[in-house]
Copies of this chain bind each other. A is one copy, B any other.
Amino acid sequence: MTTVYDVAKLANVSAMTVSRALNNPEKVSPQSLKRVQDAIQQLGYQQNQAARALVTKSTGIVKLVMPKRLGMSDPYFTALFAGIASVLSENRLAVLIEDELSSTIKYDGIILTELHDEHSYNELLKLSTPVVLFGKGQRLGEMANQLDWVDLNHFEGAYLATQHLLSLGHTAIALFKFDSNDSSLIEREQGYRKAMAEYGIDVDPNWVVSGLEDTSYAAKSQAIDVLSHSAVTGVVCTSDLLAIGVIQAARELNRKIPQQLSVVGFDGVGYDQMCDPRLTTLCQPVFWIGQRLAQLLIERIQDKTNDLPARHEIISAELVVRDSTAVK
């Protein structure tokens, strides 16, 4: 293994100059710099991260805690990961994925996609490491506001989806919610209700279907029920999977989409692409969200002053109108 000393010898400088050339090139004379760089080239020298970490107490590694349910092959988190990784690798940081907080591997910062409870939060504080949350971490209450986070504008998203159907002349609009004790779903329901209220429509309790598993089958069986027993002509779903289930139900009931029933999905990652007819959906910029998560973390890692305030970013989703919605 070639070390700074090998490089130093070849470049006719001291090891220190090599180190500087690597970390603070501006503090080295152009001539020395050039000689060092040539030597590095020639020897194919690579910094030893372990030695560097030992003395700088930094690792070049960012830890990403993915939700446990990720194992169930979710395109959403794959896209999120891709966004995170893209920014991190630009900054020469590696991503380390684990499904729990504790581990023996050290890291410079951590991105949490799911913060279960106060217990996790306390562990987090013990680590005293830069951290960014995906989602408001609402279950932490006030504590979450002291941390950086990036979240989707769930309220606005559902509002836009509902307004889209309303503007097409629909009035009997159902909401299909999958089960989650995450506040994001509460906000989506609020967005739906806000839009309905603005159009002066009383929401029939039967229109709001909640507690669903997030699968097309769960949505399908519920949708068959709702569509058979009510005059609903539009459905807002909180995921594309649910929307696909509703479309399957409509097919079984011989309701044409979009002529007799309009359906809006939510997420726009993966599943919407394979729906027939093409799904109108609220498309989340998941890749971008991942990038922002990474960017905020990097800023915090690089912040020496330690007085960076907590930053909170709320990102908008965009309604992509395709073939599953039409005028009533």
Contacts and interface: CB of A to CB of B under 8 A. Distances in A.
Nearest to A269: B73
A154 interface: no
Interface stretch (A33-41, A43-51, A172-180, A181-189): A43-51
Which 10 residue pairs of A and B lie closest in terms of their CB atoms, listed nearest first? Answer: A73-B75, A50-B53, A71-B82, A216-B274, A248-B276, A73-B79, A73-B78, A50-B54, A94-B105, A73-B270
Contacts of A75: 73-75, 78, 270
22 contacts: A46-B104, A48-B106, A49-B53, A50-B50, A60-B104, A71-B78, A71-B287, A73-B76, A73-B82, A73-B269, A74-B75, A74-B78, A75-B78, A85-B98, A92-B104, A94-B103, A94-B105, A95-B97, A95-B98, A216-B273, A245-B274, A251-B276
Q: How many copies does the complex hold?
A: 2
Contacts of A106: 48-50
Nearest to A287: B71
Given A46-B104, A274-B271, A276-B251, A78 B89 contact: no
A288 interface: no
Given A95-B97, A97-B95, A49 B104 contact: yes
Contacts of A85: 97-99
Interface string A80-94: 011001100100101
Contact of A274 (B49, B53, B95, B241): B241
A61 B47 CA distance: 17
Size bin of chain A's contact surface: 35 or more
A98 B104 contact: no
Interface string A6-33: 0000000000000000000000000000
A77 interface: yes
A51 B104 CA distance: 12
B60 A105 contact: yes
Interface of A: 46-51, 53-54, 59-61, 70-79, 81-82, 85-86, 89, 92, 94-99, 103-106, 215-217, 220, 241, 244-245, 248, 251, 269-271, 273-274, 276, 287
Given A75-B75, A94-B98, 10 more contacts: A48-B54, A50-B50, A51-B54, A60-B104, A71-B86, A73-B76, A73-B79, A73-B269, A94-B105, A97-B97
A81 B59 CA distance: 23
